[in-house]
Amino acid sequence: MTARQRGFTLLEVLITLGLLGMLMVLIASALTASSRTQMLGERYSERLDEIRSAQDFLRSAAQQAYPAVFRSDDTHSGPVFEGEREQLRLVAPPQLAGGLPLQVFSLIENRSGSKDLQVAFFQFDERGLRPWAEPQVLLHDLDHWQLSYRGLDNDAHPTGWLPRWPWPERLPQALSVELQPHGPIAWPPLVIAIRMSLGINDAQAPL
């Protein structure tokens, strides 16, 4: 005779259901963690793209800086480049339009209380500087933004890196940008060579 098959006891069923429940919880937790990791990865990638785009815009403007006087008197003398620690004013062709507007890069405070990197555009006419196109935010939420400049002094001797460009009548030879967005991404300084390092004698009349 064969022995009667023994069924599961209530205790065994409860233990099995408990183990299955724990397994489902672990699977759900793993899926949630995977989804969060994917979201963080996408945000990280988007942030990298934003930073690269801002750097590319600034690099393009600085490389194409033009020695045009953007604020002058009757003799057409005046600055062609104004470089401060946290603000930059230069004349360069915009990427998506014609002309040679004055471009002003600076930090502005946003609604959350942090800082955004913005570029504003101006044109010069008989009344002076006037806004041209809408200001554009290049990068949100910056912890740090600092500029320094290198070129030739009045005796044509090379300078070191300066926190302020003291000769606005001519372009520097290079621009260094220290840009630190909010978050764990650390960025090395961006050094940009300015192609048209000309003096006031080569500058053009106001735009």
How high is the pLDDT of residue 96? 60
Parallel/antiparallel/unpaired status of strands 81-83 and 87-91: antiparallel
Q: Is 174 exposed, middle or buried (0-12, 13-18, 19+ CB in 10 A)?
A: middle
- Mean pLDDT of all residues in 9-34: 79
Mean pLDDT for the chain? Answer: 81
Q: Within 13 A of 120's CA, how many CA atoms are on the CB side?
A: 12
Note whether 104 and 122 are within 8 A (CB).
yes
- The reply to whether the predicted model has a pTM over 0.75 is no
Q: Three-state secondary structure along 105-134?
A: EEEEECCCCCEEEEEEEEEEECCEEEECCC
pLDDT band for position 75 (cuts 50, 70, 90)? low
Q: What is the DSSP letter of 158?
A: B
- Mean pLDDT of all residues in 168-186: 87
Q: Tell me how far CA of residue 136 lies from CA of 4, 48, 177, in angstroms.
A: 82, 18, 19
- Mean pLDDT of all residues in 117-136: 84
How high is the pLDDT of residue 69? 79
User: Does position 48 have pLDDT exceeding 60, yes or no?
Assistant: yes
Q: In the chain, count of helices (H) and strands (E)?
A: 1, 8
- Mean pLDDT of all residues in 170-180: 93
Nearest to 134 by CA among 177, 180, 101, 88: 101
Per cent of the chain over pLDDT 90 is 36
pLDDT by residue (tens digit) across 127-150?
A: 777 888 889 999 998 888 999 999
Note whether 51 and 139 are within 8 A (CB).
yes
